[in-house]
Structure 1
Amino acid sequence: MSGDSDLVKLYSQRILALAADIPHLGRLGAPEASVRKRSPLCGSTVTVDVVVKDGRIADFAQDVKACALGQAAAAVVGAAAIGATRAQVETARDQLKAMLKDGGPAPEAPFDGLEVLLPAREYKNRHASILLALEATAEAMAEADRAHCA
């Protein structure tokens, strides 16, 4: 029975509230870069569109089809993405991965809201879904940087 109570704790009110209110849902009309990431384990997908100006995300949209944990992560990423640099996004991605897999601390600001997902450490089968939004955003920023340099 403790497994059931652990799942109830995992899907806290805060996680469910984030999942229900994801910022920047949809797609951009003219993105500089678009990246779709999929978790093979659960089938969750996140597609991120970005426009980058002066090394920062100037416009951002995301299409999220994921579990509540993936949606909550996307909500935090969506709230923090505009204005973020590629280095901040890549650092947050690496810190989130370390938080989930290696017991590291929560990501730094502006992505510190991902701390809400600390209880998901114990659920390895959810890690890929939680990482999708940041992985797609980091890859989209790298793609936009390559386009700027071409």
Structure 2
Amino acid sequence: MSSETDLIKLYSARILALAADIPHLDRLDSPDATAKKRAPLCGSTVTVDLTLENGRITGFGQDVKACALGQASASVVGQNIIGRNLKEVETARDQLKDMLISDQPAPKAPFSGLEVLIPAREFKNRHASILLCLEACLEAFKAASQKNCA
């Protein structure tokens, strides 16, 4: 397959539609924690604001400056992140990483929509951008949990 065909396959209509419709793009006024993650290779960044209650995400805002793949990932995460606990977010991140790096299945529900990014397996330089939103969520979640315990 030519590299041009590979890129066309990678940037499917579904990925582009997700990238064009990212939920929760408004930052939170009073988050419990904020985390910003950057993919050094491509420069994509995602900043996440979270509020927590009883160990679950109750508020979520994000600022996404990423390629279409990072945007699509942030879109799926944004659609499903409210109500999740730390373990669920860690599991989603680990499953996404395994999907990309180890050819494992797509993450399970509620993050099963990330399967749209399976074609990105072949593009290792895009993996960090795809993982940004979940990585930022985990960092913010841990910071908020520590703050709430202090």
Return the TM-score normalized by structure 1.
0.98
Q: Give the CA RMSD over aligned residues.
A: 0.8
Q: How does 1:38-57 map to 2 (within 5 A)?
A: 38-57=38-57
Using the aligned pairs only, state the percent identity: 67
Which residue is 2:100 aligned to? 100
Unaligned runs of at least 5 residues, structure 1: none
Which residue is 1:149 aligned to? 149
> Given residue 34 of structure 1, which amino acid in structure 2 is its aligned partner?
T
Which residue is 1:21 aligned to? 21
CA distance in 2, matches of 1:136, 1:91: 14
CA distance in 2, matches of 1:125, 1:107: 20
Give 3-state SS (helix, strand or coil) of 2:40's partner. Answer: coil
TM superposition shift of 1:104? 1.0
Unaligned runs of at least 5 residues, structure 2: none
Which residue is 1:11 aligned to? 11
TM superposition shift of 1:26? 2.4
Give 3-state SS (helix, strand or coil) of 1:26's partner. Answer: coil
Q: How does 1:1-150 map to 2 (within 5 A)?
A: 2-150=2-150
TM superposition shift of 1:149? 1.1
CA distance in 2, matches of 1:72, 1:62: 13
> Given residue 26 of structure 1, which amino acid in structure 2 is its aligned partner?
D
Give 3-state SS (helix, strand or coil) of 1:37's partner. Answer: strand
> Given residue 106 of structure 1, which amino acid in structure 2 is its aligned partner?
A
CA distance in 1, matches of 2:49, 2:73: 16
Return the TM-score normalized by structure 2.
0.98
TM superposition shift of 1:59? 0.4
Give 3-state SS (helix, strand or coil) of 1:73's partner. Answer: helix
